Amino acid sequence: MISLKDIHKKVDRSFELGPISCHIEPGSIVALVGNNGAGKSTLFQLMMGLVKKEGGEIEYHFDDSSQKGWKQAIAYVPQTPLMYQGFTVAQLADFFEMSYPGWNRNEFHRLTSLFDLPLKKQVEKLSGGMQKKAMLSLTLARKSKVLFLDEPLAGVDFEGQEQMRDEMVRYMERADDQTILFATHSADEIRTLADYIMLMKDGQILSQYEKDGLIASWSRMWVAADSSAVKNIKGMVSVTRQGSLVECVTSDVLTVEQELKVVGASVTSVQPLELREILRIILKEETKSV
């Protein structure tokens, strides 16, 4: 649905985004994950045409892929709605209705009622969490095919997070090719929402993973063996002596278990890794090779 080919942008003297090449599959929810300053917000702005790229191509595969067509097909909720300061939520609703054909006022009112939003209050006078709810309400009332969300649940109360997650799922159920790309620092959001994970560091896409497969392939195991006998096994990420046992972290549990049998090592226990630990290790290890 959306393809990026070698796009790059020099942001300032100390930071350059790209070159980035990736493909966002239709019908999927993709989590964009990276440290602060990785370039996630800049990437969203490039894909929305809000800032000009310096090279590369962005291709939009919609029925109408003209500039007007793809801008109607893609909706974006920024991390902070700076451009909407000074307007009330009700005024923004009027603006969205004029700007986006098919904008659904009934859907907007359903969402603002769900989130208990004050329509006559200016956006900048709302709390950060209420601003997120207001922008999501305005955006979900559009007839978009793709939704870009920059840290959508950050600063939102627990009940609001649950409601917003439910609305993201509801958005995906509109059609088989509905797509969401969202930036987050929360492993819980990734685990409950994402189909795929895209890891970003220092302006680069490091890797992409299918979430369930990634979680299933990583584990921590304790092995009765000599450290030197197991440390070079393919898929072994770390090996640490813990008393009479060796603690091993692996990114390919099935291969490692087979290889451990070959060298005569005995696995005493296996424990799955939390997703946040997996992502932390991958970002640390892959950064070394960038």
CA distances, 125 to each of 90, 117, 118, 121 (Å): 14, 12, 10, 7
Q: Is the pLDDT of residue 16 over 70?
A: yes
CB atoms within 10 A of CB 111: 23
Q: Is the pLDDT of residue 54 over 70?
A: yes
Confidence of residue 18 (pLDDT cuts 50, 70, 90): confident
Confidence of residue 256 (pLDDT cuts 50, 70, 90): very high
Query: Mean pLDDT of all residues in the chain?
Result: 91
Quote the pLDDT of residue 96.
96
Which pair of tokens denotes residue 260? 């451990």
Quote the pLDDT of residue 226.
87
Q: Is the pLDDT of residue 22 over 70?
A: yes
- Angstrom distance (rounded) from CA 99 to CA 85: 18
Quote the pLDDT of residue 112.
97
Question: N- to C-terminal Cα distance for the chain?
Answer: 28
Provide the sign of the torsion angle of the four alpha carbons 251, 254, 259, 260, taken in this order: positive
- Angstrom distance (rounded) from CA 203 to CA 14: 11
- Angstrom distance (rounded) from CA 253 to CA 267: 11
**What domains appear along the chain, each with residue ranges and CATH number?**
2-210 (3.40.50.300), 219-272 (3.30.70.100)
How large is the average pLDDT for residues 266-287?
89
Q: Which pairing describes strands 146-150 and 179-184: parallel, antiparallel, or unpaired?
A: parallel
Quote the pLDDT of residue 65.
57
Q: Is the pLDDT of residue 289 over 60?
A: no
Q: How far is CA 64 from its chain centroid?
A: 26
